[in-house]
A = this chain, B = another copy of it.
Amino acid sequence: MTTEYVHGYSEKEGGRLVDQATTLTELLHYDTVYPAGSLVLEAGCGVGAQTITLARKSPGAAFVSVDISPASLAQATERVGAAGLTNVTFRQGDIFSLPFPPAHFDHVFVCFVLEHLADPGKAMVHLGRVLKSGGSITVIEGDHGSAYFHPESVPARRAVQCLVDLQRQAGGDALIGRRLYPLLVAAGVREVRVSPRMVYVDASRPALVEGFIRKTFTAMVEGAGAEAIRRNMIDAESWGKGIRDLERTAERDGTFCYTFFKAVGVK
């Protein structure tokens, strides 16, 4: 992972990811519950945004949460400690050379990680190696191409496209959600089932207007502005208009759609 643009590496981004998990927790994670006594690998835990939810929902399971960044692990450790959770162990490590023996884990969980990798299929193979036969693997990713809104806006679309292009230049794929199925199948995962989790927001859902349109999606796009302008992908004025148009969708007559993809399969 030699990417310049990776979520969770700045403090503001860290805050956003936690906001996102708080708002979307039920939508993304309600059906992820591990049996008591099982050992679960969370690969690429970042600042622990998902770790707290995972560990709370499966209090009898033991989690080993791995990330390549010591700084992220430090934040994650603090957050999980503050939440009073004792069933998580953190460990520094790289998905492509995991510090565990083969078939070590009962289950594997990966969330918002594959989008950043140049070879997500290879990552899946490495994750499969440390998973027991018959164990489950759960992958959750977004897809920025799934975002659309009312009022429609060309500058807003351009701003989102900058995010997709930045991710691609960094070796990742911001449109990975839609291709989880073929990715997992090609990596040898069996019985793959993908369930899209669509976030639909209108004025009748004020918590999502604030928590998703403003604090999650627009904040994420906004965070890429300096880099997009620096790389001449877009000029500052167009960028500003794009962000204002995204914010505009949070008004009384606006709507917003985004879809996360959750794939579950078996080794």
Chain A interface (Cβ < 8 Å from any Cβ of B): 143, 145-146, 148-150, 152, 175, 178-179, 181-182, 185-186, 192-196, 198, 200, 202-204, 252-255, 257, 259
Query: Which of B178, B198, B202 lies in contact with A181, CB distance below 8 A?
Result: B202
Residues B257 and A146 in contact, CB atoms below 8 Å apart: yes
For A181, list chain B residues within 8 Å (CB): 202-204, 255
Partner of A194, one of B194, B200, B253: B200
Residue of B nearest to A196 (CB): B200
Which residues of the partner chain B approach A204 to less than 8 Å between Cβ atoms? Answer: 181, 192-194
Copies of this chain held together in the complex? 2
The residues of B that contact A253 with a CB separation of less than 8 Å are 182, 185-186
Find chain B residues with CB under 8 A from A196 CB. Answer: 198, 200, 257
Specify which chain B residues have a CB less than 8 angstroms from the CB of A200 in the assembled complex: 194-196
The distance in angstroms between the C-alpha atoms of A198 and B196, with both chains bound, is 8
A148 to B198: give the CA distance in the assembly, Å. 14
CB–CB A178/B193 < 8 A: no
Across the interface, which residues of B come within 8 angstroms of A257, CB to CB?
Answer: 146, 178, 196, 259
Q: How far is the CB of A2 from chain B (nearest CB, A)?
A: 24
3 A-B pairs with least C-beta separation: A182-B253, A181-B202, A150-B179
A–B pairs, 23, beta carbons within 8 Å: A143-B148, A146-B148, A146-B257, A148-B175, A148-B178, A150-B178, A150-B179, A150-B182, A178-B257, A179-B255, A181-B204, A181-B255, A182-B202, A182-B254, A182-B255, A185-B203, A185-B253, A192-B204, A193-B204, A194-B202, A194-B204, A195-B200, A257-B259
In the bound assembly, the distance between CA atoms of A252 and B200 in angstroms comes to 29
- Closest CB in chain B relative to A99 CB, distance in Å: 32
Closest B residue to A254 by CB, please name it.
B182
Q: Are A148 and B145 in contact (CB under 8 A)?
A: yes
